[in-house]
Structure 1
């Protein structure tokens, strides 16, 4: 009797079943061991001072003007006069490392929300000539090319870059040429990288709005901007807020933009870059102050994540319909609306996809000194298969990502099965939260926590990051990839499990089948498409993983993943941006294949994970 009550409380079933127990305990123990405990190990370092518990390192951050300055230094912009012309130079002002990071993150959230929502609303609500082409073009910014796309963004805003060529040389809309750098450069680079996240979430929200609600509001006299502000936007808010929050977290942890713009001191005064620079300057990561800084970053990210979930949960967004699927409201744009679409929205889209286009141009060019690259060549693309060190990093990344995907699928399947099928369990909510929370944990924080964790648990072994020449990051990277990309596959698999009625498994159990037989013979075949789709998309994200790859993955050159080699090519004096672009084209090709296959397999467009 006691065992029965214990089993029912813990696992949601009165009779202990090894399959049910494993489904709960395997992902739970894995996440506790390789997510929670490493963070606790970092906590121990951050709160220790002279052998005792202390807030010393946090106070050193909060009281230092280098980290938090209420009196900003520098000028946001200035007009610089050269020998031939005047240039408007924009870089931002310095509020200290912590406040700079928060300001950049909030700015990127705001700009991506505006950009993504505009694109999503136009695509969801208007039918205009060329819409299918625009739909394809909106797919382009989804292609992740770490470092190189931001490098192209930087080139776009040089005195002879694309932006000045269009708005100063051709349209004469700028009184002076504009150059962006520093924090403003980081904001622009991140905005052009991350706005598709908001677009995808906002688009899904707009097309899922019951059209009768807007029709009722119109019958009562509402319309135009008032209708959008009071009905449409509030109903779409959960999706938009989810996308914006993800952007804020990704901006906070981003390293690509700060690294590309690091020539300006302001771009280096961000939390992510400060932690990264510790790895590149002799790997002196053992500083308790850096551990405290990483925890400050983690706290901000978690507050953003939990805060937006709390805000969204405080309001009611559900819709009442008669059942079935409704047809979204799509209308022909009026004259002024069509003018805005063709003269404002589409030109904005064309500019926003240029970073990805620029990556391809850079990969096939000999040099890029002016507005456009010059000299066609395939040498850089050929280097992918002919240059041994490039081949090695590709093989490394494929190996790490493949092993990580096996772990991700196993964890996602067991966690989703346990939390979806056994809702009475006491462990269910904990497991569900642990499987979702990695999306809110910055990659650089995981890198830092793993550094302290493996240095303490496995000192002087190939798993010890402080053992520079003997360190083999393969296992550490696989663990980090499996933790970081778990929510993406878990979401896909969980959606599939929820669509399979539990009565199908119960019928098999009533006919004498074991729980294992019901799982492998009934459930898994029915969700196989969701499983494969989630696996391929997670594989894409593992291949392009940046934060962990260029920190822990860059300690030993023999085990570089692709991103570690890319950042070396972008920053080294003897590196080649063209070769880095060639690797970017390789990653884009892998992403295109994976996303197309995932869409074909799952019969639906892929959307980024949300928070609701």
Structure 2
């Protein structure tokens, strides 16, 4: 009797069968083995000094001006300097040390993306204007992930002879001097242009799901215009906006593409993500507990952001699945002043923010790009995707890693969602649900660092195919697949969990009462009814695996034979003999993969899936 009570307490049923046991134990053990334990091993490494438990490595970080210098910053935000026969404004950023720099960049990006995302979302949700469908399509463009190359285009846009000065200085004469953006400011601008769609998607879904009667009642009481937005509309949409901003903060904290592209400015290197990454490429990651301590500082900040917002709004939205609200949204024709703002400010701003993706295409089909615009037209870079062996190999590698990872992700998502959704009273259910969600708050560089310490030091794994330092392993991509399956799990898990919640448990119970086993009920009743959720989650996760950056350029860059696409793109961008044009061609390939996935999602699932940009 005591055993039955113990079993029921943990599994939600006194006599769990093989399906129930597997649904609980498989995802639980997998996540413990390849997420929790590796992070704990890294934690232990960071807390050990000379064989004793110590805070030495953390003290070395917060005691060093290089890593932590809040009181005596160096550098400058903007400075007027001579450039050729003219003067220009050079934007760089103050240096407060690696830790403070990372936090300030993250907060700045959160603020800028919130302003952009909320502005675009409010216009699209509240106004009906000529050209709105075209704007809706254009807002889709920034969702296309092109690691590194889009940042290269952003860098070119803000050079003294770049697009921004060509428009605002040479033609509109709105600037007294040309501007040049570098350093931390360059990182902030690039990340803001990359991540604002995350806030836009969350804000748009929040705006269209607001009960119109609440705003109408406020109007009847005299509230109008910005006062109505500030006191009613924005507070009602704040949970979704805050959730999007929190994700942006985490993604900014772990981003590597912008710091790597802007590393020509020394201050851009003074970010936590770049410092940890540089320990990999320099070969000093193993045996460097200080980098493990820095990774844990980053993880702590990311978890604080995540748990704060989760506590505030329940963190209900990750991958946006927009179906519209229960009520008809308030949509009106813009008044003359509002129309002027839309056409003269909002739409031009949108065109500037989508130029990085357009620039990737231009770069892929051009011979050179030294000035404002690319020059020459060629198909040779795109042709290299089919003819150059090393390029073909990285495409095949990424397809292999992503495909295998998707099968693991689907198994994890289905079992974890089934156990957590069908046996809610079990004590393991909330643990499973949290473990399936928490990877979204764990920076990719932290997972890479954890795997490096774990698989290269723990005896059962040291020297195996999972050991990143084992260059003779028969399949060095194994660690990448595990990392992909952990990193992209939440997107599929949320989609499948939503599907399971929509299927009433009585349908399965009826099948079981008629003699079907739980496995039969699962495969013949539940899975067919959530098949669209499975396909949608699989496509989302596949796209994100293909464009995975942090893990790809760390664990994936150790052995060039097993490079994923993002590792090759990084090499092409940073190598002296590399080709940004060829990296752009790979970026176009990733765009095509994403567009194909979106089209399939719309056709197969009959719903509108939107993709947010992950590193």
TM-score (norm 1): 0.96
Is 1:594–2:604 an aligned residue pair? no
- Does the 8 A contact of 1:201 with 1:608 survive in 2? no
**Cα pair distance change 1:328/1:248, threshold 3 Å:** same
1:68 match: 68
1:11 paired to 2:14: no
Alpha-carbon shift at residue 382 of structure 1 (Å): 0.3
- Classify the secondary structure of the residue corresponding to 1:74: strand
Give the equivalent residue in structure 1 for 2:607. Answer: 604
TM superposition shift of 1:278: 1.0
* Offset of residue 313 of structure 1: 6.1
Match of 2:318? Answer: none
Q: How does 1:463-542 map to 2 (within 5 A)?
A: 463-468=466-471, 470=473, 472-542=475-545
**Segment of structure 1 superposing worse, 384-393 or 494-503:** 494-503
Query: Are 2:250 and 2:302, in contact at CA under 8 Å, matched by a contact in 1?
Result: yes
Q: 1:607 to 1:230 in 2, by over 3 A?
A: farther
Q: Tell me if structure 1 keeps the 8 A contact 2:197–2:612.
A: no
Match of 1:413 in 2: 414
1:307 equivalenced with 2:299 (yes/no): no
Residues in 2 aligned to 1:20 and 1:470: alpha-carbon distance in whole angstroms: 36
Name the residue aligned to 1:318: none
Q: In the superposition, relative to structure 1, how do residues 260 and 424 fare at CA in structure 2: closer, same or farther (>3 Å)?
A: same
Cα deviation, residue 101, structure 1: 0.3
Q: What are the residue-to-residue correspondences of 1:256-271 with 2, within 5 Å?
A: 256-271=257-272
Matched, 1:558 2:581: no
From 571, 575, 580, the counterpart of 2:578: 575
SS state of the match for residue 14, structure 1? coil
Match of 1:43 in 2: 43
In the other structure, the counterpart of 2:353 is 352
1:111 counterpart = 2:112: yes
- How much has 1:283 moved relative to structure 2? 4.6
SS at match of 1:353: helix
1:15 Cα shift? 2.1
Of 9-18 and 28-37, the range deviating more from structure 2: 9-18
1:229-286 Cα distance to aligned partner (Å, 9 max, x none): 1111111111111110000000000000000000000100000000111111135443
- The residue that corresponds to 2:133 in the other structure is 132
TM-aligned CA deviation for residue 607 of structure 1: 4.3
Give, in whole Å, the separation in 2 of the partners of 1:515 and 1:231. Answer: 48
Unaligned ranges ≥5, structure 2 = 316-324
Aligned twin of 1:317 = none
CA shift, 1:211, in A, is 0.8
Following the alignment from structure 1 to structure 2, what is the Cα–Cα distance between the partners of residues 597 and 117? 28
Post-superposition offset of 1:310: 2.2
Pairs within 5 Å for 1:293-442: 293-312=294-313, 325-442=326-443
How far 1:13 moved relative to its partner? Answer: 1.5
CA gap of 1:512–1:462, structure 2 versus 1, over 3 A, is closer
Verify the 8 A CA contact 2:598 2:610 in the aligned structure 1.
Answer: no
Match of 1:319 in 2: none
State the partner residue of 2:320: none
Deviation at 1:24, TM superposition (A): 0.8
The answer as to whether partners of 1:570 and 1:577 remain within 8 angstroms in 2 is: yes
Deviation of 1:6 (Å)? 1.9
Deviations 1:117-168, CA, capped at 9 Å, x for gaps: 0000100110000000000000000000000000000000001110000000
Distance in 1, matches of 2:600 and 2:14, equals 41
Question: 1:360-412: CA deviations, max 9, x gaps?
Answer: 00000000011110000000000001000000000000000000000000000
In 2, are the aligned partners of 1:409 and 1:489 still within 8 Å (CA)?
yes
User: What residue number does 1:22 align with?
Assistant: 22
The answer (yes or no) to whether the contact 2:73–2:94 under 8 Å persists in 1 is yes
Task: Indicate the SS of the match to 1:311.
Answer: helix
Aligned positions of 1:280-291 closer than 5 A? 280-291=281-292
Aligned to 2:32: 32
* CA–CA distance in structure 1, aligned partners of residues 121 and 465 of structure 2: 48
CA distance in structure 2 between the partners assigned to 1:8 and 1:216 by the alignment: 50
1: distance between equivalents of 2:313 and 2:529? 32
SS across alignment from 1:545: coil
> Could you tell me whether the CA contact under 8 Å between 1:465 and 1:471 is conserved in 2?
no
Q: Is the 8 A contact 1:534 1:598 kept in 2?
A: no
SS at match of 2:305: helix
- C-alpha distance in structure 2 between counterparts of 1:604 and 1:267, whole Å: 41
Q: CA–CA distance in 1 between the matches of 2:200 and 2:389?
A: 39
Distance across 1 between alignment mates of 2:210 and 2:464 = 56
Distance (whole Å) between structure 1 residues aligned to residue 421 and residue 472 of structure 2: 45
Q: Is 1:228 equivalent to 2:229 in the alignment?
A: yes
Mapped to 2, the partners of 1:284 and 1:524 lie a distance apart of: 43
Are the structure 2 counterparts of residues 471 and 111 from structure 1 closer, same or farther at C-alpha, using a change threshold of 3 Å? farther
Q: Is the 2:465–2:478 Cα contact (8 Å) retained in structure 1?
A: no
Q: CA contact under 8 A between 2:416 and 2:436: conserved in structure 1?
A: yes
Map of 1:150-161 to 2, 5 A cutoff?
150-161=151-162
8 Å Cα contact 1:182/1:261 also seen in 2: yes
Shift of 1:460: 3.0
The answer to whether the 8 Å contact 1:471/1:556 transfers is no
Contact 1:487 1:609 in 2 (8 A): no
CA contact (8 A) 2:540 2:611 kept: no
**Which residue does 1:211 correspond to in 2?**
212
Count of matched residue positions in the alignment of Structure 1 and Structure 2: 601
Separation in structure 1 between the aligned mates of residue 239 and residue 609 of structure 2, nearest angstrom: 17
**Normalised by the size of structure 2, how large is the TM-score?**
0.96
Cα shift at 1:7: 2.2
Q: Please say if residues 201 and 607 of structure 1, whose CA atoms lie closer than 8 Å, have aligned partners that are also in contact.
A: no
